[in-house]
Structure 1
Amino acid sequence: MHRSATDPRPRVLHLAQPVGGGVARVVLDLTKAQLTAGLRVTVACPGGELAERARELGAEVRGWRADRSPGAGLRDEVRRLTHLLGEVRPDLVHAHSAKAGLAGRLAVRGRVPTLFQPHAWSFEAVGGVTAALALTWERWGARWAHRVVCVSEAERTTGVHAGIRARYAVVPNGIDTEYFTPGRTESRAPLVVCVGRLCRQKGQDVLLRAWPEVLRQVPGARLALVGDGPDGEALRRIAPASVEFAGAVDDVRPWYRAADLVVLPSRWEGMALAPLEAMACGRPVLVTDVDGARESLPPGQAAHCLVPPGRPGALAGAVAGLLLDPELRASLGDRGRRHVQSTHDVRRTAEAVAELYRELLGGRPLMSFECRESIHS
């Protein structure tokens, strides 16, 4: 696992599973920036949207067969990855999310500089014995990560309090503020939009339980769930007629711009991308008080934009209150846009990751990671 003698440019291997949603977006943002900076970039993943888009960007893409969750196939997944590492010979491995972090660290075992980015801790997503096993692994596996990259200080604090002794770095999530821009598409009635994978983590079931009370206070309000996922059928069974299931969309900006309010009622996160995207589009957001949420909001907005997770009553009251106060929504949207521009631009994120790479590669100079082209174009 060493640099090619004929090409001195460092080679970065991004290892990812899952291959959609926020994880894919982060990998693609970094890939775009790193290719522009002159690095050689390989993305290893089980196909899907991530592989397709990374190939379009000009990265080398390697197929790595792996299920989303740990299981009986883990040994073969690690074996395949070990073989792939021998072929790619990366200078640095950047593993994204729990499954890639598990298999990647088992395959590399610290032999080359390794970054692990949890994108929310695995032990928060499960319960009982499974959570205990996940936590035990994270404590053990931290020795094989030269840096554990958290997307919020709250995510780092969760890891520390859980007994994960690691060399942490906090790099807040960023989004492309030149792609996500304000615009307004008027809707016929007050419109609430929730963007995210239809799964327990994102909490759409809590929002649906809150929705009848929202309708009682704001008759005629509409709710749109944008995204797909494993809980889609179950959510449709409990949704009233005023809820629209938009499915997965190629361009989410029209939904943000049409929204009077964007809501993400997550049960856990590291730092969600959807609220950042919505704020970049000038829309007010309402999020649950999970890891990264407070840090993603402008100072002073928590009182209006933050609710406890898993509480439909509190969520309903906050949604209705914001829908009934257009002046407050306009102010929140304006301040949110300015905050994201100054704090969560993807170019800042890419440069912070580049600095970590420089440290781990022994201070070898890298070209500027500034990238003015959008990965969405």
Structure 2
Amino acid sequence: MRTLDYLEFEDRLRGGIVTATRQQRKALRRQGVDVAESPWRAGDPVRSLGTAFAGLGYFDDYDVAHCNTIGPGSLAVARHAKREDVPLVLHAHTTGEDFAGSFRYSERAVPALKAYLKRFYAQADVVLCPSDYTRSVLESYPVDAPIRTVSNGVDVESLEGYESFREETRERFDLEGMVVFSVGEVFERKGLSTFCRLAERTDYDFAWFGHYETGAAASAEVTKWTQNPPENVTFTGFVEDKRMAFGAGDVYCFPTKNENQGIAVLEAMATGKPVVLRDIPVFEEFFEDGHDCLKCETEAEFRDALERLAAEPELRERLGANARETANEHSLARVGERLTDVYRALLNGEVPPESTEPMDG
């Protein structure tokens, strides 16, 4: 079986969608699947015009088309797949709900984006999404296609050796004591204002490891907090190795307002870090308050959670140990098994069954 696993604009994108796609590819290859990363015969759409004129075709050959973004290249792949009767999988990493609060004026674009997503995802033979929460969002649009849930998973191997980055990273960014940290793109949707206001009300060092916009695309909140942060908050910008964050940080704090799953949460759990999360619906599926994380609704609850973790080393240890077990439930082996079974069902002319567990056979 040869499948296309396509991430349009891969060289320009950052964040969870890139991580999720690369984890898919790694998981699939471990299952023995031949994975093509580009749909174009000559590797890109411009050079492939030459192969098309030469009669060799514009698109490459693959048995299943799997697209992870929603841009014009993915739309072209979808239309080609429908013309050629190639099973089409569209992965819903993007919803209107998780786009809001990402960039300046992003909320204004949400109605138009939802209308587009409704049409775009409806082309699929199956839409995959990382959580039942995301599935419920798509069903509310509604999206007229079968929708199935597959965890994004976590690549534990990619985090190996994170401990060795601790001292160097803490020294580089002048971090001391119990460091409260977050990882990923700096967006207001991800709880930026809560993160910073929480820092103002505590004495811990806070660090957010990840790129942030500085130009016209930056929201007012991102500009406000990154240009004039509280004294105990460090915005590192892009770091060359994510293990720096998980090595330097002690408590992963993620007051996000909306997520489709949260790969960085799973990564923090895989490194045994105690995790403090906003109590939002998507996290109800995966994480249990008091077992593998602490969930909070108000800034006062977040502050109390941090104070408990600072005062109770045994709580940090217990939450971290349970978190590792939770992360193991999202292994790439499970992701690969689930994806290959979805592909096989489609190639057999079947709709993949309703299950988040690997299918028999």
**The two structures share one fold, judged by TM-score above 0.5:** yes
1-side partners of 2:24 and 2:184: how far apart?
21
2-side partners of 1:165 and 1:225: how far apart?
39
1:305 aligned onto 2:330: no
1:16 aligned onto 2:18: no
Query: Does the 8 Å CA contact 2:293/2:323 hold for their aligned counterparts?
Result: no
1:268 aligned onto 2:251: no
1:119 aligned onto 2:93: yes
Which residue, out of 307, 310, 317, partners 1:323? 310
2-side partners of 1:199 and 1:34: how far apart?
31
Compute the displacement of 1:29 (Å).
Answer: 1.8
Q: Which residue of 1 aligns with 2:353?
A: none
Query: Does the 8 Å CA contact 1:192/1:260 hold for their aligned counterparts?
Result: yes
2-side partners of 1:347 and 1:234: how far apart?
42
2-side partners of 1:98 and 1:347: how far apart?
27
Q: Which residue of 2 aligns with 1:76?
A: none
Query: Does the 8 Å CA contact 2:87/2:346 hold for their aligned counterparts?
Result: yes
Distance 1:172-1:38 versus aligned 2 partners, 3 A rule = closer
User: 1:225 is paired with a residue of what secondary structure?
Assistant: strand
1:336 aligned onto 2:319: no
Query: Does the 8 Å CA contact 1:153/1:170 hold for their aligned counterparts?
Result: yes
Query: Does the 8 Å CA contact 1:94/1:117 hold for their aligned counterparts?
Result: yes
Compute the displacement of 1:270 (Å).
Answer: 0.7
User: 2:82 is paired with a residue of what secondary structure?
Assistant: coil
1:350 aligned onto 2:322: no
Compute the displacement of 1:334 (Å).
Answer: 0.6
Write out per-residue CA displacement over residues 24-56 of structure 1, whole angstroms, 9 at most, x where no aligned residue: 1121122233344444322249xxxxxxxxxxx
Query: Does the 8 Å CA contact 1:110/1:146 hold for their aligned counterparts?
Result: no
Which residue, out of 147, 153, 156, partners 1:168? 147
1-side partners of 2:4 and 2:319: how far apart?
39
Q: Which residue of 1 aligns with 2:20?
A: 26
1:4-153 equivalent positions in 2, closer than 5 A? 9-17=1-9, 19-44=13-38, 62-63=43-44, 86-99=58-71, 103-104=75-76, 107-108=79-80, 110-111=82-83, 112-126=86-100, 130-153=109-132
**TM-score, structure 1 as length reference:** 0.73
User: % of aligned pairs identical?
Assistant: 23
Distance 1:105-1:318 versus aligned 2 partners, 3 A rule = farther
1-side partners of 2:128 and 2:42: how far apart?
23
* Paired residues, number: 320
The residue type paired with residue 60 of structure 2 is: V
1-side partners of 2:291 and 2:114: how far apart?
30
Q: Which moved more, 1:280-289 or 1:137-146?
A: 137-146
Gaps of 5+ in 2: 101-105, 171-175, 351-361
Write out per-residue CA displacement over residues 276-295 of structure 1, whole angstroms, 9 at most, x where no aligned residue: 01111011111223453233
Compute the displacement of 1:137 (Å).
Answer: 2.4
Q: Which residue of 1 aligns with 2:227?
A: 237
The residue type paired with residue 283 of structure 2 is: A
Compute the displacement of 1:145 (Å).
Answer: 0.6
Gaps of 5+ in 1: 1-8, 46-59, 66-78, 365-377
1-side partners of 2:43 and 2:301: how far apart?
46
User: 1:131 is paired with a residue of what secondary structure?
Assistant: helix
The residue type paired with residue 114 of structure 1 is: L
The residue type paired with residue 223 of structure 1 is: F
Which residue, out of 348, 352, 358, partners 1:362? 348
Query: Does the 8 Å CA contact 2:274/2:293 hold for their aligned counterparts?
Result: no
Which residue, out of 199, 202, 210, partners 2:190? 202
Distance 1:165-1:87 versus aligned 2 partners, 3 A rule = closer
- Please give the root-mean-square deviation of Cα atoms over the aligned residues, in Å: 3.5
Distance 1:109-1:179 versus aligned 2 partners, 3 A rule = closer
2-side partners of 1:258 and 1:272: how far apart?
20
Distance 1:284-1:158 versus aligned 2 partners, 3 A rule = same
Compute the displacement of 1:21 (Å).
Answer: 1.7
Q: Which moved more, 1:87-96 or 1:346-355?
A: 87-96
Distance 1:106-1:254 versus aligned 2 partners, 3 A rule = closer
User: 1:306 is paired with a residue of what secondary structure?
Assistant: strand
1-side partners of 2:116 and 2:57: how far apart?
22
**TM-score, structure 2 as length reference:** 0.76
1-side partners of 2:110 and 2:239: how far apart?
33
Q: Which moved more, 1:30-39 or 1:172-181?
A: 30-39
Query: Does the 8 Å CA contact 2:81/2:87 hold for their aligned counterparts?
Result: no
The residue type paired with residue 112 of structure 2 is: L
1-side partners of 2:66 and 2:156: how far apart?
24
Query: Does the 8 Å CA contact 1:148/1:166 hold for their aligned counterparts?
Result: yes
Structure 1 runs (4+) deviating above 6 angstroms are 82-85
Q: Which residue of 2 aligns with 1:192?
A: 180
2-side partners of 1:61 and 1:210: how far apart?
51
Q: Which residue of 2 aligns with 1:282?
A: 272
Compute the displacement of 1:109 (Å).
Answer: 6.5
